[in-house]
Chains A and B, each alone.
Chain A
Amino acid sequence: MAQDGPITLTDLVTVLRACAGEDDGVDLGGDIADRAFTDLGYDSVAMMEVSARMAERFGLELDEDRLFDLATPAEMLRCLNQAAAGDGEARR
């Protein structure tokens, strides 16, 4: 299920909206790459759900301990895309 090219913020936002919802006061379509997941309204259970659905979609599993250190969308995407390139901590 791995895709051509890196996983993008758009991909992540699609998954966030579908599985963890969107707060009324937050625009996920805006510049959110460096905003904290907690500011965007997502708690640790939401992060587990997002991680599971990203794994389902892109075949890349994030280590659970590492997952909670990924504070922003940009950090999560970096981690996933490094793994996709074969040099990250996530695993296929």
Chain B
Amino acid sequence: MTGAAAAAEDDRAVITGIGVVSPSGLGAERHWEATLTGRIAIGPITRFDPSGYPARLAGEVPGFVPRDHLPGRLLPQTDRLTQLALTAAEWAITDAGLSPSPEESLRYGVVLANSAGGFEFGENELRKLWSMGPKKVSAYQSYAWFYAVNTGQISIRHGLRGPCGVLVSGQAGGLDAIGQACRVLRKGADGVLTGGFEAPVCSWGVTAMSAGRDAPTAPQLSAGDDPATAYRPFAAGASGHVLAEGGAILVLEREGRARARGARHRYGRVAGYAATMDPPPGSSRPATLRNAAALALADAGLAPERIDVVFADAAGGTMRDRAEAEALTGLFGAGGVPVTAPKAMTGRMSAGGAAVDVATCLLAMRDGMIPPTADVRPDPSYGLDLVTGRPRPARIDHALILARGEGGFNSALVLAACPRETPPAAEPRDERASRDLPGT
């Protein structure tokens, strides 16, 4: 290898840690097991009484008790959003074995996506404001509701004092954050915690997400009452999506740095990223999801036939499913690539959703398994090879992940598998031990 090639390899962005908190389970491995079995994690809303609301189903994170995971001092000052994100961040950092010294900490940052902020915390403080007056409003409201709150709290808790930021672009945000994290690495950071989280399952969240339901760019919430059928992306007569909470945090590092510190995992690397914006509703210009995918492939230097699986955005409404199917068949040909959308089992986690897709995709690469899109029977007219019912064994060297945010955001990310290095004798045991860590 030439010196320049070795240097370029050292600068590539690799994922060395994963933390998932999703309706499918707490921790990456539990999430992965539930995803492979095709278990539906959508159910009736339990966090408030949803009767009288337009949506009565959601993907809720089950059995999450904040005080089991977080110091007591953080509980009164954080929304569920931040409690979920802080927990996943801790797991991701533990999985990566990352512990930068105070001197190194300026080269490690946090770049996350979020779209609604701490909705429930804000709702409760507004209720106090209107019913009891301003003196009852918590001082913690000053940041607990804010989109950037996860970035800030994680940065503070783990002493990651490098470049930080938040991306606000709906479901596309999980990919946009990773794209921004890659820029931060290119500018000289050694590592970034990235990904996204959302926790919109409260009465105000559901109200906000249901507003303007008939507008072409509005989120199309399913009014269905049956968890098995309410969200069926790519099915004939799909009726919208189900809201969900959760997300994933990934540790992204410069490859040379990860190797130098002896990182336990290289789950994969970010090979390409691109984002486009759709024209306004009613425009004669076409939607731009296909452009985003093509640009991400070009960024990765890959022809479409090198892609082994697509994790679809899978909006679950006929117009948007049609647009995505046309983008995919346009690039890959009809049935030209296996497509999956495990989010059919959890619901859409907005800014957390694509981050979970990336985590799921990395585990799919590791185990050579494409997880199913629940038991959805796709409309054959879409021309998609949708993996449904059970996982499909496949060698995955390259994967494309798509995500769209409400309002016209399209983002695409290409992941590449990291070739397994010839391990020193002790390494396989280390790897297994780290997989058994609680919550990873």
A residues near B, CB below 8 A? Answer: 18-24, 41-42, 45-46, 48-49, 52, 55-56
Are A24 and B72 in contact, CB atoms less than 8 angstroms apart? yes
Confirm or deny: B76 has a beta carbon within 8 angstroms of a beta carbon on chain A: yes
Are A49 and B140 in contact, CB atoms less than 8 angstroms apart? yes
Chain B: residues with Cβ within 8 Å of the partner, total of 14
Are B135 and A23 in contact, CB atoms less than 8 angstroms apart? no
Give the Cβ gap from A25 to chain B, nearest Cβ, in Å. Answer: 8
Are A21 and B139 in contact, CB atoms less than 8 angstroms apart? no
A46 to B72, CA, bound (A): 13
Closest to B137 in A: A52
Contact with A along B43-87 (1 / 0, CB 8 A): 000000000000000000000000000011111110000000000
Closest to A51 in B: B139
Are B77 and A21 in contact, CB atoms less than 8 angstroms apart? yes
Are A48 and B135 in contact, CB atoms less than 8 angstroms apart? no
Task: Give 6 A-B contacts (CB < 8 Å), ordered by A residue.
Answer: A20-B77, A22-B72, A22-B73, A24-B72, A41-B71, A46-B139
Neighbouring A residues of B72 by C-beta, 8 Å: 21-24
Partner of A55, one of B73, B74, B135, B139: B135
Give the Cβ gap from B140 to chain A, nearest Cβ, in Å. Answer: 6
Are B135 and A52 in contact, CB atoms less than 8 angstroms apart? yes
A49 to B138, CA, bound (A): 6
Neighbouring B residues of A41 by C-beta, 8 Å: 71, 73
Are A56 and B139 in contact, CB atoms less than 8 angstroms apart? no
- Chain A interface SS verdict (over half): helix
Neighbouring B residues of A46 by C-beta, 8 Å: 73, 77, 139
Partner of B76, one of A21, A52, A55: A21
Closest to B138 in A: A49
Neighbouring A residues of B139 by C-beta, 8 Å: 45-46, 48-49, 52
Known: A22-B73, A45-B140, A48-B139; 9 extra A-B contacts, CB below 8 A, are: A21-B72, A21-B73, A21-B77, A23-B71, A24-B71, A45-B139, A49-B139, A56-B135, A56-B136
Give the Cβ gap from A40 to chain B, nearest Cβ, in Å. Answer: 9
Neighbouring B residues of A21 by C-beta, 8 Å: 71-77
Give the Cβ gap from A43 to chain B, nearest Cβ, in Å. Answer: 9
A40 to B410, CA, bound (A): 46
Give the Cβ gap from A35 to chain B, nearest Cβ, in Å. Answer: 15
Give the Cβ gap from B67 to chain A, nearest Cβ, in Å. Answer: 9
Neighbouring A residues of B135 by C-beta, 8 Å: 52, 55-56
A22 to B72, CA, bound (A): 5
Closest to B142 in A: A45
Closest to A41 in B: B73
A23 to B75, CA, bound (A): 10
